[in-house]
Structure 1
Amino acid sequence: MLDQVHLPPLAQDFLAWLSLEKRYSPHTVQSYSLDLHQFFQYLQSQYDGIPLGSVKASHIKSWLALGLEGRKKAEDARKGVPTPASAVTIRRKMSALRSFFKFALRKGVVQQSPMARVTGPKLPERLPVFVDEMAMEKLTQPPAGEELPLFSDDFAGVTQCLIMRLLYHAGIRRAELIGLEDRSVDISNGQIKVLGKGNKERIIPVGTVLMKDIRNYFDKREEAVPGYSGKAMLCLPNGKPVQAWDVYRTVRRVLERVTTLKKRSPHVLRHTFATHLVNNGADINAVKELLGHASLASTQVYTHNTIEKLRRVHKQAHPRG
């Protein structure tokens, strides 16, 4: 995490509160820390470090408008030419400040939050990227015309196969996958327990095929890493736990073989899981529970995929489409 020496004590307390009490992920806390660093550095350079209680919406708006460099294009990086921050980045930074000022309000440091008068840019509506069902069926067999299977028959291949199937069959996040332990799996009842955002546990029922894969994985792991005593369920042939990069690399390699999608990340498989459920008639509230969403609005985006599919069918098949 970034050095917090230059942050006001209240900001340091806020980050500690997020981590220890709210149980925010390390990634989120780090992002908020960076946002607060940038904000207070901006106040120092542009307004001589005005007291927190004197910060107004205009100060925050000027930071969002002028104080953010955003990401630099690769071709301009050496020239130091900045490009505007994306709407997603700005809204995340606003979220960091909104949470911080709520914290300051509870502590009595400010009388009201200046964020109440700050509105962010509207995000473009984007449908989740997902892999079609026919492509996902290729996980059990090599793509047509190719002799090489998607996974080798050694322990590394078995691990990679299970990574793909857990992400797709259970719809879990990458962090949830890495956090799985042996005790997370209830083979007799056909379910797994995952620890999601905010340390919230949820139970996901899975099919017999996936449970068979998990049992096979345990057998292969005992052969490859005798006496394995690691906490993580998924491990590498050297006995070390599978890391985020291992998951991303596996997903990217496999999806390159089965789909032409440009985006090939672990989260695409989560989108695929949800979209396939909705497209096959699953109740949206049940999908919400399976995904671990706090709000139904987060899940309803998958119904848009179904509507878009119906529009395409109508356009292609209807005489007046």
Structure 2
Amino acid sequence: MKEEQPLPAFAQAFLAYLELEKRYSPHTVLAYRVDLEQFFGYLENTYGDISLKDIRYFHIQSWLVTGLAPGGKSATAVTIRRKISTLKSFFKYAVRKQLLEQSPMAKVNSPKIRKRLPVFVEEKGMQQLEENAAAGKPVFSDDFKGATARLILDLLYQTGMRRAELIGLKMQQVDTGNRQLKILGKGNKERFVPVSSPLLEQIAAYEARKRREIGSPDLERLLVKPNGKPLDESYVYKVVKAALSQVTTIRKKSPHILRHTFATHLMNNGADLNAVKELLGHSSLAATQVYTHNTIEKLKKVHQQAHPKAR
């Protein structure tokens, strides 16, 4: 195989457009970059020097079928859909910039994905976690590390924010007077999420302790590691996994599970779907509707257990 070639200038311009104009997160831009590097690398290695205007449907189909299946191992439907989405966005950009007359993606169809219900922690599990916190269980030790872990869990579960939103959260986003947080979501879209007085008190106590014990140089950032440095994805994941391992046997114990848990518990307790959409920062209602399935499943279970004619 030939040595990997750098991305063409027009592809670099597309990535700059995503970062500077669309305000996509660095993580998302990186995912687009990886997909484009794989695609153009495959074209170079398979078809030689091929211009943008010469790319056709069969080139793309060949990459999806062959290029994404090294060693005969097929890519998952989720992976293929994501890479198709990258190419559709890229070629749409190329048409808009008049680099192409039309996109070669018209006949490319994304594979269907079987919808899976979001995995979440039962309410009794989250109640047990709170009891563990009150009892000072190991993951919530009395030192600054334990205080950080507890605040991470409480913020994720009580606000439904994403891991990246948590890591970037600053003290100036905490509105004590209105009892709310201003969260910067995908594309730097702002949303306001109400928080309880106890959580605000916990944040204030944590901030005071951080200044007193850590003397962090990054005082704008709310949450920091015991060494004063900002949180990273791996640190947050380990904290959540350790805490959830105490109260649930679900296989996946990631920060996103707490986002699912936040939304599912709201829906199960009668929250309006549109309100949950706004709290999660979803751009469309379709992304939020998946949580109604969990609610329906709960209703079916209650009906089956309680109604004399259900069986």
2:23 aligned partner: 23
Query: How far apart, CA to CA, are the structure 1 residues paired with 2:45 and 2:5?
Result: 17
Query: How far apart, CA to CA, are the structure 2 residues paired with 1:38 and 1:188?
Result: 50
State, as a whole percentage, how many aligned pairs show the same letter.
56
TM-score, normalised relative to structure 2: 0.93
3-state SS in 1 of match to 2:117:
coil
1:304 is displaced (CA, Å) by 0.7
Structure 1, residues 39-66: CA drift from partner, whole Å, max 9, x if none?
1122222222322112222221121111
Query: How far apart, CA to CA, are the structure 2 residues paired with 1:225 and 1:150?
Result: 19
1:78 aligned partner: none
Which residues of structure 1 form unaligned runs of 5+? Answer: 71-80
2:77 aligned partner: 87
1:129 aligned partner: 119
Query: How far apart, CA to CA, are the structure 2 residues paired with 1:191 and 1:124?
Result: 37
Asked if the contact 2:5–2:41 (Cα under 8 Å) also holds between the matched residues in 1, the reply is no
Structure 1, residues 203-259: CA drift from partner, whole Å, max 9, x if none?
111111211211221222122124755331111222111221111110000000011
Superposition RMSD in Å? 2.0
2:35 aligned partner: 35
Asked if the contact 2:157–2:261 (Cα under 8 Å) also holds between the matched residues in 1, the reply is yes
Asked if the contact 2:218–2:229 (Cα under 8 Å) also holds between the matched residues in 1, the reply is no
Q: 1:262 aligns with which of 251, 259, 271?
A: 251
1:7 aligned partner: 7
Asked if the contact 1:156–1:237 (Cα under 8 Å) also holds between the matched residues in 2, the reply is yes
1:168 aligned partner: 157
Aligned length: 307
Which residues of structure 2 form unaligned runs of 5+? Answer: none
Structure 1, residues 87-114: CA drift from partner, whole Å, max 9, x if none?
1100110011001001110111111111
Q: 1:96 aligns with which of 73, 77, 86?
A: 86
2:65 aligned partner: 65
Query: How far apart, CA to CA, are the structure 1 residues paired with 2:271 and 2:200?
Result: 21
Structure 1, residues 157-216: CA drift from partner, whole Å, max 9, x if none?
111100000000010000000111111101122111111000111111111121121122
Structure 1, residues 65-92: CA drift from partner, whole Å, max 9, x if none?
111137xxxxxxxxxx452111110011
Q: 1:250 aligns with which of 228, 239, 242?
A: 239
1:317 is displaced (CA, Å) by 3.4
**Structure 1 residues 49, 317: closer, same or farther in 2, change over 3 A?**
farther
Query: How far apart, CA to CA, are the structure 1 residues paired with 2:275 and 2:110?
Result: 32
Asked if the contact 2:218–2:230 (Cα under 8 Å) also holds between the matched residues in 1, the reply is no
1:149 is displaced (CA, Å) by 5.0
3-state SS in 2 of match to 1:142:
helix
1:136 is displaced (CA, Å) by 0.3
Q: 1:294 aligns with which of 283, 296, 301?
A: 283
Asked if the contact 1:222–1:228 (Cα under 8 Å) also holds between the matched residues in 2, the reply is no
Q: Which moved more, 1:309-318 or 1:287-296?
A: 309-318
Letter matched to residue 272 of structure 1: T
Structure 1, residues 126-175: CA drift from partner, whole Å, max 9, x if none?
111100101001222229xx984541011111111000000000100000
2:168 equivalent to 1:179: yes
Letter matched to residue 279 of structure 1: N
**Structure 1 residues 141, 17: closer, same or farther in 2, change over 3 A?**
same
2:106 equivalent to 1:116: yes
2:303 equivalent to 1:314: yes
1:12 is displaced (CA, Å) by 0.8
Letter matched to residue 52 of structure 1: L
1:270 is displaced (CA, Å) by 0.4
Letter matched to residue 152 of structure 1: S
3-state SS in 2 of match to 1:203:
strand
**Structure 1 residues 227, 57: closer, same or farther in 2, change over 3 A?**
closer
Query: How far apart, CA to CA, are the structure 1 residues paired with 2:151 and 2:33?
Result: 35
Letter matched to residue 180 of structure 1: L
Query: How far apart, CA to CA, are the structure 2 residues paired with 1:147 and 1:302?
Result: 32
Query: How far apart, CA to CA, are the structure 2 residues paired with 1:16 and 1:289?
Result: 29
